[in-house]
Amino acid sequence: MIATNHKEENKMNTQRAKEIAASPVMVHVTHGGVPIYIQHVDEKTETARIYPLNEPENERNVPLHSLLEQ
């Protein structure tokens, strides 16, 4: 039997991040426990341009692996 870490399964990959960024439907994604919006995904650097939902002026680039889909 193989044990899996549920949090590992929810870590963001490039393809999923791109799907979420392009989707008209809001998907619950967090960074450091804070709900965020993904503006852009950079495949080359495996980062995403994000901002917290309650602070749209606080944009920043973060590694995709630091994002969790809830």
- 7 in any annotated domain: no
pLDDT attached to residue 40: 97
Q: What is the pLDDT of residue 9?
A: 59
| CATH number of the domain bearing residue 64 | 2.30.30
Q: Are 68 and 30 in contact (CB under 8 A)?
A: yes
**Model pLDDT, residue 15:** 96
Structurally, the chain folds into a number of domains equal to: 1
Residue 21 to residue 7: CA distance in whole angstroms: 21
Pair 70, 61: CB distance under 8 Å = no
Q: What is the pTM of this model?
A: 0.83
- The answer to whether position 1 is within a domain reads no
> Which portions of the chain are predicted below pLDDT 50?
1-6
Domain housing 36? 12-69
